[in-house]
Amino acid sequence: MAYLELIHLRKVFGATVAVESFDLDVAKGEFVSFLGPSGCGKTTTLRMIAGFEQPTEGRIRIDGEDVTDTPPNKRRLGMVFQSYALFPNMTVADNIAFGLRMAKAPAQLIQQRVKEMLALIQMEGYGKRYSHQLSGGQQQRVALARALAIQPRVLLLDEPLSALDAKIRDELRNEIRRIQQALHITTIYVTHDQEEALALSDRIVVMNAGRVEQVGTPFDIYNRPQTEFVARFVGTLSTLRGTAGADGCVMVGGQPVRLTQPLSDKRPGDAVTIALRPETITLNGAAPGDNRLIAKVEGVTFLGSIVRVQLSVNGSTFVADALNNPNFTPPHAGDTVAISFAPEAARVVE
């Protein structure tokens, strides 16, 4: 049974539709990320769950209870903000204790919980410091502990790592996942960073222009994107434009490309876009059964562990990634190369 239910959520600001027909069931203990570009409605959806925005239409249920009209301070949800939002006038311990004090918890319980939370975020000994005496990463850990101290029904995180530098971001990302799994807490995580979403989530909701594009596991979202937007937004994408052939193939510049996916709704001659991940394309070497195309090299970029080759076939430009090794000889711009890829690596996108 779903623990958090979002039913036909819709949010309109004036003439702008921020979120349209958003349906989602989240299981207890599940980690779900809302992934999308700025303005796609992911934060608005999170804020509706938190109670900071009232849905124009739709309902929100937590553990069977309809909380759509419940004020935020009565929902028992923990929220972590991008800007940390620690109370500057309070110490770390007071920040963590704040929610418990609001709930009028006994002093002994508050003291014990603060101690537990400081241990959980590995910041014992920092209880008497103020937020301005902490680094960004430490502040965000305290914000996480503060949100968890009240034992929320759902933990909401609004781009919590965006303000941190890369190294701290990676560390804290692992920390968030560790704590979430240890506490088995239902979590909604908003991010525009696909790597974060892929690394952390049990499921990802990819959003675009207020709508859900695809909901799936990180593996599904990356390997089986259902729309061109998802394919392009999550990971690097190579697209080839062609036309549907008579025998279920796609013709790209007069060269046939076989797919495992049926072209059921396409008639011969209809335009078809196929998507490939750059790492699934092989240069000058093919396994039996692979598709082969002749392509022109437009440029080569050395990225350390990989060599990214810009290619074009019949006006479609795309990239192929080759793993770097000392025996690899990169092609040069203007060369003609044979590329190959497995039929199952290519997917038709809308």
Partner 1 sequence: MTGGRSLAARLFAWAIFIVCAAYLIVPLATQFDYSLRARRGEIGFTAYTNVLSIPEPDKVLQVQASPLKITLNLPRFYSSLLFSCLMAVLTIIVSTAIVVPTAYWVHLRVPRLKPVIEFFTVLPFAIPGIVLTFGLLRTYSGPPFSLTNTELGTVALLVGGYTIAVLPYTYRSVDIGLRAIDIRTLTEAARSLGAGWPAIILQVILPNLRVAVLSAALLTFAIAIGEYTLANFLFPDERAFGSYMASVGNNKIFEPAALTIISFVLVWILVLLIQRVGRGTGQTQMTGMR
- In the shown chain, the binding pattern of residues 96 to 135 toward partner 1, with x for contact by CB under 8 A and - for none, equals --xx--xx--------------------------xxx-x-
CB of 13 to partner 1, least distance (A): 14
CB of 198 to partner 1, least distance (A): 27
The alpha carbon of 316 is separated from its chain's Cα centroid by a whole number of angstroms, namely 28
Q: Which three-class secondary structure string do you get for 224-271? A: CCCCHHHHHHCCCCEEEEEEECCCCCEEECCEEECCCCCCCCCCCCCE
SS3 277: coil
The alpha carbon of 210 is separated from its chain's Cα centroid by a whole number of angstroms, namely 15
CB of 223 to partner 1, least distance (A): 36
Verify binding: residue 89, partner 1, rule CB under 8 A.
yes
Tell me the two tokens of residue 349. Answer: 């996108």
Binding residue for partner 1, selected from 56, 68, 70, 83, defined by CB under 8 A: 83
Residues in Cβ contact with 243 at an 8 Å cutoff, skipping those fewer than 6 apart:
250, 251, 268, 269, 270, 271, 272
The length of the chain is 350
320 and 309 Cβ atoms separated by less than 8 Å: yes
Q: Which is nearer to partner 1, 84 or 229 (CB)?
A: 84
CB of 104 to partner 1, least distance (A): 10
Q: Which is nearer to partner 1, 16 or 329 (CB)?
A: 16
CB of 207 to partner 1, least distance (A): 21
List the one residue out of 103, 9, 23, 94 whose CA is nearest residue 58.
9
Binding residue for partner 1, selected from 1, 15, 16, 88, defined by CB under 8 A: 88
CB of 101 to partner 1, least distance (A): 9
List the one residue out of 259, 178, 248 whose CA is nearest residue 224.
259
Tell me the two tokens of residue 171. Answer: 């560390």
Q: Could you say which residues in the range 129-168 bind partner 1, by CB under 8 A? A: 130-132, 134, 136, 139, 143, 146-147, 150, 156
Tell me the two tokens of residue 280. Answer: 């699934």
Q: Could you say which residues in the range 168-227 bind partner 1, by CB under 8 A? A: none
Give the binding-site size for partner 1 (rule: CB under 8 A): 37
CB of 128 to partner 1, least distance (A): 11
Tell me the two tokens of residue 334. Answer: 């203007």
Q: Which is nearer to partner 1, 95 or 238 (CB)?
A: 95
What is d(CA 179, CA 69) in angstroms, rounded to the nearest whole number? Answer: 30
Q: Could you say which residues in the range 259-318 bind partner 1, by CB under 8 A? A: none
List the one residue out of 241, 303, 237, 318 whose CA is nearest residue 272.
241
> Where on the chain is the footprint of partner 1 (CB under 8 A)?
50-52, 71-79, 81, 83-91, 98-99, 102-103, 130-132, 134, 136, 139, 143, 146-147, 150, 156
